Amino acid sequence: MHRFTLAAASLVVTTSAFAADALPPLAGEAAGAPHVSGYGEAYLGGVRFVGDDYTTRVGGGAARVNIAFAQRWNLQGDVSYDRIWGHYDPLDATRGAIHGFYRDPDRFAAGIFGAYTTFGFGDGVNVYNHAVGPEAQLYLGNLTLYGQASVGQLAVNDFRGDQWGVRAVARYFVHQNLRLDAEFAFNRTDYNDAYEDLVGAAVQAMYRFDETPWAVFGRYEFERRKFETSTEDTRANKFVIGLRASFGSSTLFDEDRNGATMDTYRPASVISTK
């Protein structure tokens, strides 16, 4: 328990708040008119910190709504909740984000986002994070490339740590309702006399049942955190399965190119931020 408390404390003071050959039917579908759409999803799974003898439970969910206005301009709002519990004391995080962007569904989307996160860490400890930055997506037939950067700050009571990060995501549509994702993220927290780096990676597969709003997904995430002044690091592995319900979109591909397509980093542990 003592070891996990130290690991969780380190997580708190870590990072902010990763085939151009198109199939004609998919490329043509992206030309639909903008509309209000979104989805809600929930997941359950487990996370293990390398070196620990226990896998603890994780769960959470998210909801995202996109509103198109003035033809190709879009405003998207996100809320999410993540929790870790079981062998260790419960920890949770609540996040909110807003994205404003311009989108040509056949070519690209580009805009800015802002995110705010609060953490339930214990009595007398107030922890939150905020981050802002640019984001853009490039549409290459069945492939979506997504880049994001941010600057922000982590606050733990009276402590303030400056943060910055970058993230890259590739989404490939095997067909209109089968999506494969790969993600990479890097974040740095500056503690004035030292810094801590976080490297995160994830892979995900999602399938939406034809002519229904329901989709299922499985996801694996890895995180590695290391202080500049330490030779040791902390690593976590997370596996989850989940269920998504969408509205205002006909397929996963339609959702990606015309709907709630933006998101923010999904951590392997609830205390990671951004």
Length of the chain: 274
Q: Are strands 37-49 and 233-247 parallel, antiparallel or unpaired?
A: antiparallel
Higher pLDDT, 9 or 62: 62
* Model confidence band, residue 270 (pLDDT cutoffs 50, 70, 90): low
Residue 105 Cα to chain centre, angstroms: 22
**pLDDT: is 29 or 273 the higher one?**
29
Contact 227, 194 (CB under 8 A): yes
Closest C-alpha among 200, 172, 170, 180 to residue 188: 200
**What is the per-residue pLDDT for 122?**
67
pLDDT of residue 131: 95
Give the whole-angstrom CA distance, residue 102 versus residue 134: 12
How far is Cα 274 from Cα 261, in angstroms, rounded to an integer?
Answer: 17
Taking residue 52's Cβ as centre, other Cβ atoms within 10 Å add up to: 15
Q: How far is CA 78 from the centre of its chain?
A: 11
Cβ atoms 270, 84 nearer than 8 A: yes
Per-residue pLDDT tens over the stretch 75-134 = 999 999 999 887 767 888 899 999 999 999 999 999 999 999 998 876 677 888 999 999
Closest CA to 224 of 232, 233, 214: 233
Mean pLDDT of 184-193: 88
Q: pTM of the entire structure?
A: 0.84
Confidence class for position 68, pLDDT limits 50, 70, 90: very high
Q: Which helix (H) or strand (E) holds 89?
A: none
Determine the Cα–Cα distance for residues 119 and 127; give it in Å rounded to an integer: 6
Give the whole-angstrom CA distance, residue 62 versus residue 70: 27
Q: SS3 for 19?
A: coil
Q: Determine phi and psi for 253, rounding to 5 degrees.
A: -65, -45
Q: Using the structure block, give the residue that is written with the tokens 């199939």.
A: 23
125 by DSSP, 3-state: which? coil
